[in-house]
């Protein structure tokens, strides 16, 4: 039985989860949160499906046994792309939300570049849905999430690496950039230097709004205005 004052679990492989957590707390400030960063297994974007599935299942099983949780927010696009149906089935007693590349017909009226992990590019159903659109371009990274985490206090140093990867898309008229990995939200300021004048879209606001709607719908939003707790857990 879920309770109003149970935790909201935000799960990611690293610092991308922090970005999603911060957005959630703006919409739902009086909640208990668990932020789990799986830095031991990061990056997820280049891992094989079997080992990723086993790893994520083990972590979620341990967390749901140890803590009273009402909502699980998967803040990793790779996991959302690979295992959405599996996780919805296995953890059906919880409210589960998934980040997803923010993409729609309106955005695709102009040339749009999605920047994500290779696994997200390969498996994400929303990207597959829009793949026939000639305005859609996909750029997959494998270890960028880990590079961001390793250089988190000095992100400007990775600009040359990002520029080199983005170079093939610089002169084709890209108007929109869809950030398809929550880690990459932290380098939007670098991408703005590369794609001057482009509009940027990321997924945390979509998840935050939906979390608010669902907690209200199920009467599970915390009614204790004194609660404002974050428990941060890191795999080692």
Q: Is 66 helix (H, G, I), strand (E, B) or coil?
A: helix
Fold of 107-201: Rossmann fold (3.40.50)
Nearest to 214 by CA among 96, 126, 98: 96
- Per-residue pLDDT at 94: 97
Q: Between vectors from CA 178 to CA 177 and to CA 184, what angle results, nearest 5°?
A: 100
Would you call 91 helix, strand, or coil by DSSP?
coil
- Beta bridge partner(s), residue 176: 112, 199
Do the domains spanning 7-99+204-234 and 107-201 agree at the CATH topology level?
Answer: yes
Average pLDDT, the chain: 93
Identify which has the larger pLDDT, 43 or 27.
Answer: 27
Q: Show me where the domains of the chain are located.
A: 7-99+204-234, 107-201
Is the pLDDT at 101 greater than 70? The verdict is yes
36 pLDDT band (50/70/90 cuts)? very high
pLDDT beyond 60 at 236: no
Average pLDDT over residues 12-36: 92
Q: Is the pLDDT of residue 176 over 90?
A: yes
pLDDT at residue number 42? 75
pLDDT tens for residues 191-212?
999 999 999 999 898 999 999 9
Count Cβ atoms within 10 A of the Cβ of residue 215 and give its class: 0-12 exposed, 13-18 middle, 19 or more buried. buried
pTM (2 decimals)?
0.90
The CATH architecture annotation of domain 7-99+204-234 reads: 3-Layer(aba) Sandwich (3.40)
The beta-strand segments (E) located in the chain are 7-12, 32-37, 69-74, 95-98, 112-117, 136-141, 176-179, 199-201, 229-234
- Predicted pLDDT at 214: 97
Determine the pLDDT at residue 185: 93
């Amino acid at each position: 039985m879920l309770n109003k004052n149970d935790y909201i679990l935000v799960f990611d492989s690293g610092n991308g989860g922090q970005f999603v957590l911060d957005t959630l707390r703006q919409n739902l400030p009086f909640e208990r949160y668990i932020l789990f960063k799986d830095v031991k297994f990061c990056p997820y974007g280049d891992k094989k499906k079997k080992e990723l599935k086993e790893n994520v299942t083990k972590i979620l099983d341990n967390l749901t046994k140890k803590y009273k949780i009402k909502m699980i927010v998967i803040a990793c696009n790779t996991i959302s792309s690979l295992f959405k149906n599996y996780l919805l089935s296995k953890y059906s007693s919880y409210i589960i939300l998934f980040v997803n590349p923010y993409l729609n017909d309106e955005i695709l009226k102009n040339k749009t570049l999605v920047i994500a992990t290779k696994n997200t590019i390969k498996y994400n159903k929303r990207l597959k849905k829009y793949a026939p659109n000639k305005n859609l371009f996909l750029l997959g990274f494998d270890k960028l999430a880990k590079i961001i985490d390793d250089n988190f206090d000095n992100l400007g140093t990775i600009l040359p690496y990002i520029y080199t990867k983005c170079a093939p898309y610089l002169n084709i008229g890209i108007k929109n950039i869809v950030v398809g990995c929550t880690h990459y939200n932290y380098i939007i300021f670098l991408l703005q230097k590369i794609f001057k004048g482009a509009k940027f879209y990321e997924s945390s606001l979509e998840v935050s709004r939906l979390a608010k709607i669902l907690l209200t719908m199920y009467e599970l939003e915390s009614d204790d205005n004194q609660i404002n707790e974050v428990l941060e857990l890191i795999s080692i």
